Amino acid sequence: MDNFNLLALQYQTELFGNILPFWLKHSQDREFGGYFTCLDRQGNVFDTDKFIWLQGRQVWLFSMLYNKVEKRQEWLDCAIQGAEFLKKYGHDGNFNWYFSLTREGKPLVEPYNIFSFTFAAMAFGQLSIATGNQEYADIAKRTFDNILSRRDNPKGKWNKAYPGTRPLKGFSLPMILSNLTLEIEHLLDKEIVEQTMDECIREVMEVFLRPELGGIIVENVNPNDTLSDSFNGRLVNPGHGIEAMWFIMDLGVRLNRPKLIEKATETTLKTLEYGWDKEFDGIFYFMDRKGSPLQELEWDQKLWWVHVEALISLLKGYQLTGSEESLQWFKKVHDYTWSHFKDPEYPEWWGYLNRRGEVLLDLKGGKWKGCFHVPRGLYQCWKVLEAINADKSKQLP
């Protein structure tokens, strides 16, 4: 057994022995349906609100495992009960997805957030594969149509930006669409798929990726694709940029575009070098491209998803291009991640560390951290490590 195999086993064991049991046991609301996500260190529920991002993501995660790993009834049941809750309470009747609900399913926050829609579409798309249920497929499809129709003003009437003064466009939506389009490709017309993939690749790699900034990605640009010297226009979210790069690598594989994969691998490395904290290690949450003070007070914190996504992008970069630099960085981020985010005493990982890597919030799940980045990342790394291991030409140095 060589090192890649050992590593694959480490990721697999953590997923099946630690993370999945935590969510299956603690998050399912057996009384009202859906999932609790506000879970303390031991898994106790500290708040019962239900956030649509996280409800959708958990449905997706268990459906995906059912589809790709094993037909475990427990996983399918978990996904279906969450989906039924979402179907019944999560939207306004026209698949405009609320942001959050009470435990019982009453709407708390209006459908202002487009990513409630994207994660609902992902959820019902995967679940439609797992179940063959046409109703789930229709929900995914209708939600995707709503996303496309809201693309130019995602917040709709809740948009507080005064029309016309500084109409920035954001990186998040094309980034998420790069992933979502592949996720629900089976439900979409071929033309829509190709057009959306092309647009997303162009936006991500040619608009938000900025050669004049050394090849990093900014969060917002002017409508004419120029840089904006404003708080939002200067914002860099290294984790976002890095996560997007494995979505782009997946598109590169799908479209057989090796140059695109090379570029995504290179961008992962540039962003990591840019976003790495040289004093305390770890990847910063937010940065300002001009080095000005940020409005985000949490800028120097170390977040779980940023590091987990970096592991995926680095491994895929190595797998697909053989980049030794990606492998070196993978080892560095792997060491930081496992030694700081994994809780040695209780299941699931920490989510929020301060700049020094000390635990900032004593939780395993909350308003934004659910059953998603950790298990998806462990799954992805496990599978990529297995594939690398199977390719005998690649061995750890």
* Residue 256 backbone zone (phi > 0: left; psi -120 to 50: alpha; other: beta): left
Separation between Cα atoms, residue 55 and residue 50, nearest integer Å: 7
Q: Is 11 helix (H, G, I), strand (E, B) or coil?
A: helix
Inter-residue contact 218 to 233 (CB < 8 Å) = yes
Could you identify the residue written with the tokens 């475990």? 72
DSSP state of 18: I
Which residue number, 94 or 393, has a Cβ lying nearer to its own copies? 94
Could you identify the residue written with the tokens 């349906």? 33
Which residue number, 80 or 294, has a Cβ lying nearer to its own copies? 294
Q: How far is the CB of 162 from its own copies (least distance, A)?
A: 4
Which residue number, 152 or 191, has a Cβ lying nearer to its own copies? 152
Which residue number, 103 or 394, has a Cβ lying nearer to its own copies? 103
Kindly state the tokens that stand for 387: 């594939």
Separation between Cα atoms, residue 165 and residue 145, nearest integer Å: 28
Q: Is 232 helix (H, G, I), strand (E, B) or coil?
A: helix
Separation between Cα atoms, residue 350 and residue 348, nearest integer Å: 7
Separation between Cα atoms, residue 123 and residue 128, nearest integer Å: 9
Q: Is 212 helix (H, G, I), strand (E, B) or coil?
A: helix
List of E strands, 60-139: 100-101, 107-109
Which residue number, 42 or 195, has a Cβ lying nearer to its own copies? 42
Q: Which of 3, 21, 77, 107 binds its own copies (CB under 8 A)?
A: 107
Q: How far is the CB of 247 from its own copies (least distance, A)?
A: 25
Q: Is 296 helix (H, G, I), strand (E, B) or coil?
A: coil
If binding is defined by CB under 8 A, does position 255 make contact with its own copies? no
98-106, 139-147, 174-182, 238-246 -> range binding its own copies (CB under 8 A): 98-106
Q: Which of 367, 383, 386, 387 binds its own copies (CB under 8 A)?
A: 367
Binding mask of the shown chain, residues 291 to 330, with x at each position contacting its own copies by CB under 8 A: -xxxx-xxxxx-----------------------------
Which residue number, 150 or 367, has a Cβ lying nearer to its own copies? 367
Residues 187 to 246 in contact with its own copies, rule: CB under 8 A:
229-231
Q: How far is the CB of 160 from its own copies (least distance, A)?
A: 5
If binding is defined by CB under 8 A, does position 168 make contact with its own copies? no
Which residue number, 111 or 241, has a Cβ lying nearer to its own copies? 111
Separation between Cα atoms, residue 200 and residue 248, nearest integer Å: 9
Separation between Cα atoms, residue 315 and residue 317, nearest integer Å: 5
Q: Which of 74, 88, 148, 161 binds its own copies (CB under 8 A)?
A: 161
Q: Which of 69, 253, 360, 387 binds its own copies (CB under 8 A)?
A: 360
If binding is defined by CB under 8 A, does position 281 make contact with its own copies? no
* Residue 43 backbone zone (phi > 0: left; psi -120 to 50: alpha; other: beta): left
Separation between Cα atoms, residue 235 and residue 12, nearest integer Å: 35
Which residue number, 298 or 391, has a Cβ lying nearer to its own copies? 298
Query: Distance of CA 346 to CAs 17, 23, 35, 41, 334, Å?
Result: 12, 13, 20, 7, 20
Residues 31 to 90 in contact with its own copies, rule: CB under 8 A:
38, 40, 46-47, 49
Q: How far is the CB of 258 from its own copies (least distance, A)?
A: 39
Which residue number, 195 or 292, has a Cβ lying nearer to its own copies? 292
Q: Which of 93, 132, 134, 160 binds its own copies (CB under 8 A)?
A: 160
If binding is defined by CB under 8 A, does position 279 make contact with its own copies? no
Number of residues this chain uses to bind its own copies (CB under 8 A): 43
Radius of gyration of the chain (CA): 20
Q: Which of 42, 148, 158, 186 binds its own copies (CB under 8 A)?
A: 158
70-78, 109-117, 125-133, 249-257 -> range binding its own copies (CB under 8 A): 109-117
Q: How far is the CB of 143 from its own copies (least distance, A)?
A: 19
Separation between Cα atoms, residue 334 and residue 264, nearest integer Å: 20
Which of 331, 182, 321, 177 has the alpha carbon at shortest distance from 251? 182
Give contact residues for its own copies (rule: CB under 8 A): 38, 40, 46-47, 49, 98-99, 102, 106-110, 112, 157-158, 160-162, 165-166, 229-231, 290, 292-295, 297-301, 352, 354-355, 360-363, 366-367
